[in-house]
Structure 1
């Protein structure tokens, strides 16, 4: 998590330790899920795959540009991270993935893994402390996103328990680091200034078809072990998932991450005892075959700085055609101490800030932010191409506090026009 006070997130609205993908009731890749067709007559059962045959490989490239009509003197879209450079074409990410998903429905043990790395301008914000943060000062950098092993254990509950050990994207929040699972190129304040990644162990217990319980112990936000942690204490997460409510149309996920997050380099020994709490609730409602609605509420509190943030965001996605989806996002975000929302002009500011070192990062003080984003996602079906997506958007940001956070701290509002392209294989 990035903040001016000291510290510097990605899973879907309905995470799964087995696949990392949303359930059928969620908006998938920014497109509202369609009704499931009637099942055909059963075919002859395919022979079971060997463990190695379950391994898949993928590559994904994203690039985009955000036109800022204020032409800010500092060249920044304030309140943004992955799309923070105004009027500048960005190579956001070249993402490579090797994975074997576990099958949580098996009555036997199953093992898998995920290795995922990225190169591009987004990597400035997705480093784990102690990994590749000082390799280059360039805008495009390399970072590990996920490196973990997974296990499905058919124990204790009918659905068993799934485990993940290593480095992984946070379960908190609706939006994700992976652009292919988001409705927009730009991100919400909830996403930008909440947690990104963790190192540790997480368990997902399938108590019943309706209830999943989550528990996690980790080193904190975007940190690792030893010198890769910015303090000397662990953190953790608890959560619950409610599935197939309202006749299968509604999914609710609630998580709380807690632990010391401030850096010893910034506040000394108090970093080990000063807690930060981050709570997030996401409700996804599949209203019709074409319309998906999502509501997210987020709260954060940092003990040492006495800082709180409160975020409310709503999403609507409507499938106009099988390949074209209209999307909307509206959000209000209160940063009551000017601690969480910030801009990071330097290419290593986010990494240095996570470690409590000096940076050129700056904030706009106490503000109530809002943003309203409209866009479409066009995803044509092309043979031998896993994904081609084009996502233009219009966005209006506004401070409800009368402050001037935008256009190099001179404007109360900001209008941007942006688009990106995602190509996956």
Structure 2
């Protein structure tokens, strides 16, 4: 590729990304089916034989995605290579056919019914640490949604959250979110890596990054617990079997400020010697008190247990169990599906979920997953509708190429206590999405 051709291709690629950032938001949903103002949430990496997850950044001399290939041979690209910096991105869009007329909430993140949705157009800039080195080294990561519909779920309190009220008091369909931005250092003498900034929480196995998930939609348990934490986290490898994490953060899905309050984030994980089984416990512990003055719910405690086992090279089972609580709620507004009609809530709230994943890897490029979930929002504090939800999801991922993934999914949700889905107790959806990694 000549210098002029490469420049033309690079200009076209960057122009396309910028143009995508100027998507005109569609007209707001009717008032009886609009979107709740805030649905807090997170991420950790799944134990998947196919490793359907965010990949480690490609070394400067190794495999590169489209953008780095276009930069290859330029002075800017050479400078990135010399410094071990990778620039890449992804575009994730889907269409979800649904029995609901307007939206699928509380199912998410593909929440819009019977229409195309651009969930993410994301730019990633990172310099990875080298955990195999005997010398101190440092890195950083920036993961920014610009634009995408996922932003309404991933935004942190006190960080660009005014977007949630820009559409006549409701969120626009598309927005931006600097989901992750942190510095990282590796301390070889302690076998420890330290990160400081805003980062994906260690709680739960599903992720904000769509490449980290086995199916299109997210579990309700994931959607109603933390997405990100802001603060510091140290992860130490004690030996080949044990890893611990300890950190201080500002709460859940809050970027410091008046809604922030010091909380502990930590966990412990055991892997067997041949890395076919792991057991992990993660938690965030703080005041667990509702903020009466600011009316925010970023301070709540979470306890999580993960178990994963590979029955063979092709078949993996993963169990994720989570229990969360918040106290001292007085006069809190739980918004109905119109996003504006509040219901008062008093007292203490708990919610918990059990999520099972059965994944079979058919080939190096194709895997299928059945996910079965039970989520109890017994007082309706998280979803706005009380009751026990059961969800059944069958999905697959096909890596047509390294840069193009295609995922079909069929899902059924049911709440026997409350008509949580546009006046119905049940919801059936059939979704298909694509992920372009550039």
Instruction: Identify the match of residue 85 of structure 1 among 105, 112, 115.
Output: 112
Secondary structure in 2 aligned to 1:134?
Answer: helix
| Deviation readout 1:224-269 (Å, 9 max, x if unpaired) | 223xx425x2112121011235x421122210112246664xx228
Question: Are 1:8 and 2:40 an aligned pair?
Answer: yes
Distance between the aligned counterparts of 2:409 and 2:289, measured in 1? 35
Instruction: Identify the match of residue 29 of structure 1 among 39, 48, 52.
Output: 52
Q: Which moved more, 1:284-293 or 1:143-152?
A: 284-293
Contact 1:260 1:271 in 2 (8 A): no
Question: Are 1:230 and 2:230 an aligned pair?
Answer: no
TM-score normalized by the length of structure 1: 0.78
User: Displacement of 1:52 after TM fit?
Assistant: 4.2
Contact 2:252 2:300 in 1 (8 A): no
Contact 1:298 1:311 in 2 (8 A): yes
Return closer, same or farther for 1:94/1:50 CA change in 2, 3 Å cut-off.
closer
Distance between the aligned counterparts of 2:245 and 2:374, measured in 1? 28
Return closer, same or farther for 1:277/1:140 CA change in 2, 3 Å cut-off.
same
Contact 1:220 1:260 in 2 (8 A): no
Secondary structure in 1 aligned to 2:152?
Answer: helix
User: Displacement of 1:217 after TM fit?
Assistant: 0.6
Residues paired across the two proteins, number: 355
Q: How does 1:270-419 map to 2 (within 5 A)?
A: 276-305=300-329, 306-341=348-383, 363-364=384-385, 366-381=386-401, 386-399=402-415, 401-406=416-421, 408=422, 410-419=423-432
Q: Determine which structure has greater relative contact order: mean sequence separation of CA pairs < 8 Å that are 6+ residues apart, divided by chain length.
A: 1
What corresponds to 1:161 in structure 2?
A: 192
Instruction: Identify the match of residue 58 of structure 1 among 88, 103, 109.
Output: 88
Distance between the aligned counterparts of 1:52 and 1:166, measured in 2? 25
| Deviation readout 1:62-103 (Å, 9 max, x if unpaired) | 00011112x33xx12122232111112101100100101111
| Deviation readout 1:277-310 (Å, 9 max, x if unpaired) | 1011122212211111111101001112411112
Distance between the aligned counterparts of 1:423 and 1:328, measured in 2? 24
Distance between the aligned counterparts of 1:68 and 1:393, measured in 2? 12
Contact 2:181 2:198 in 1 (8 A): yes
Distance between the aligned counterparts of 1:167 and 1:146, measured in 2? 5
Q: Aligned-residue CA RMSD in angstroms? A: 2.6
User: Displacement of 1:50 after TM fit?
Assistant: 9.7
Secondary structure in 2 aligned to 1:155?
Answer: helix
Question: Are 1:177 and 2:203 an aligned pair?
Answer: no
Distance between the aligned counterparts of 2:179 and 2:53, measured in 1? 21
Structure 2: 5+ residue stretches without partners? 1-34, 55-78, 330-347
TM-score normalized by the length of structure 2: 0.75
Distance between the aligned counterparts of 1:61 and 1:193, measured in 2? 24
Structure 1: 5+ residue stretches without partners? 15-21, 32-48, 342-362
| Deviation readout 1:146-175 (Å, 9 max, x if unpaired) | 11000110234xxx1110001101110010
